[in-house]
Amino acid sequence: MATEDEPPSQPDIAAMLTNQTSACKPAREAIAGAEVRLLDREVPHWMVAGIAAARLRRSLARGLQETIGLDETVEILARHRGEQLRTGIIDAADRLWSFTLYFDATGTELLACSGVKRSRRPSTKDSFEP
């Protein structure tokens, strides 16, 4: 039994990643060995949805980043206007993909998940040496 001094247990994120968006399966596969961070505060819908929509517009306009489930996420978040939401991040162990998780205000229901492939920055060993 938990006491007031104990932090709340972290939800089973892998179990929550069902089929909300097309990014759920890749996020579930990436979770092993990944860094998972859940924000412990609620934020207004307009903030979360605005960031997701802006990210989608930029990725479509520039075509620079590969995304998964971002368009679906924007549609899902639109159905939750006026609500408080929570977010989380999964940074894959290989650092190639980052997934954003969108929860209800209690953090018990996963609403959506989107992923973005990071551009690979060359390391010093990858640089050209004559």
State residue 64's pLDDT score: 57
Mean pLDDT computed over every residue of the chain: 84
8 A C-beta contact, residue 45 and residue 84: yes
pLDDT at 121 > cutoff 70: no
pLDDT digits (tens, 9 = 90+) for 13-33: 999 999 999 999 999 999 988
Instruction: Express each pLDDT in 30-49 by its tens digit.
Output: 998 899 999 889 999 999 99
Dihedral of the alpha carbons of 43, 115, 64, 61, in degrees to the nearest 10:
-50
Q: Whole-model pTM? A: 0.81
Alpha helices in the chain (DSSP H): 13-16, 24-30, 45-62, 70-78
